[in-house]
Structure 1
Amino acid sequence: MAAKKGRSAVAALINGAGFLLAALLVLHIVFVVTGFPAENGLAQSVAQAAEPLALFFPGLVQAPGEVLQVLLDYGLAAVFWVLVGGVLARVFG
């Protein structure tokens, strides 16, 4: 009986998409935490893309500081996208 050696291309694509969405959210977190100028075009583009990807997570947990709030809001969303990508990759792979 032959063992399945690798994942299918569809599973790899789904897993990669989930990782890219999470990476975009983490990039937004890095920009906010490091104080990257919000007027910068790259920072604006990343913030605009990260906003809808955060889904229902912003405001779900209240934090005392702005930096911690951004970490929670977008960090939880990043973990969500990695998990969803992994689960969907396993289902379709």
Structure 2
Amino acid sequence: MAARRQRGPSTVATLINLVGFALAAILVGHIVFTLFGWGENQELVSTVADAADFLSLFFPGLLDAGNPTLQLLADYGLAAAFWVLVMGVAAKIFG
């Protein structure tokens, strides 16, 4: 009897998950840059902020935290979790 070979995730699923984590990393990077007060006059910080604003979709202002730090975490943290979740589901479907 031939041994059954265990299959791991497909390449497509791996790439989809990688994209999801990259999008979440941009959003988390924006949170870190903002919390540590890195100025937007730096090119990297400005580029990440622009990308995070685009990727945050409808999440900014969805919840009212009352505290600016918590508001930042809620807005962009929920968006990061959303992208990881959506890409994880897409990886399951296509992988």
TM-score bracket, normalised by the shorter chain, equals over 0.9
Residues 1-93 of structure 1: pairs in structure 2 closer than 5 A: 2-93=4-95
Q: Distance in 2 between matches of 1:38 and 1:62?
A: 24
**For residues 17-65 of structure 1, what are the alpha-carbon distances to aligned partners after superposition, in whole Å with 9 as ceiling and x for unaligned?**
0000000000000001111112111110000011110000000001112
Give the unaligned 5+ runs of structure 2.
none
Q: Distance in 1 between matches of 2:64 and 2:7?
A: 45
TM-score by length of 1: 0.94
Paired residue total: 93
Amino acid at match of 1:46: V
Alpha-carbon shift at residue 2 of structure 1 (Å): 2.8
Amino acid at match of 1:56: F
Greater radius of gyration (CA): 2
TM-score by length of 2: 0.92
Percent sequence identity over aligned pairs: 55
